[in-house]
Amino acid sequence: DLEGNGIEIYADRPRDQWGEGPGGSTPLDLKELATLVDYEFDGLPANTVVGHVHLRIADVEKSHEFYVETVGFEVQQREEDCLFISAGGYHHHIGANTWNGVNNPHPPVHATGLKVYTIVLPYKEALDEVKERLIEKQHEI
């Protein structure tokens, strides 16, 4: 869209079918896609799952400190300009990158963008551990 927000549509495969090498995204031709259906779009199906989010970040090291060292995600891939992290060995739940530049200004308050996302932890003790690390590192809760 005009603000640069995007959505990646993909189908997960079992881990043993992931393959090696660079991934990639191909832009979806929305006009062509619209010609393939004869009904009005009324939202995503109820069982739709958001597999991962991509975040535009200013600093890979600070993001690593927060998401890996504090929250507890595992690094799947780290480069100078990006960090892909997950829990449980998934390819990535969060992709964080500086591909649009570093230290960019925050978007305007009323920009569409991503306002909130939820990280679900498997049990209360895990939440308590993350909370403890957040307090220890003086992050606002």
| pLDDT given at position 63 | 95
| pLDDT given at position 31 | 84
Residues 65, 58: Cα–Cα separation, whole Å: 13
**In the chain, how long is the greatest CA-to-CA distance?**
55
Residues of the chain scoring pLDDT < 50: none
What domains can be seen in the chain, in order of their start residue? 49-104+111-141 (3.10.180.10)
| pLDDT given at position 2 | 59
| pLDDT given at position 37 | 83
User: In whole angstroms, how far apart are CA 110 and each of 3, 107, 115, 121?
Assistant: 11, 8, 10, 30
Task: Enumerate the β-bridge partners of residue 55.
Answer: 96
| pLDDT given at position 19 | 66
Two tokens at 60?
A: 């890979």
How many residues in the chain? 141
Q: Is 6 helix (H, G, I), strand (E, B) or coil?
A: coil
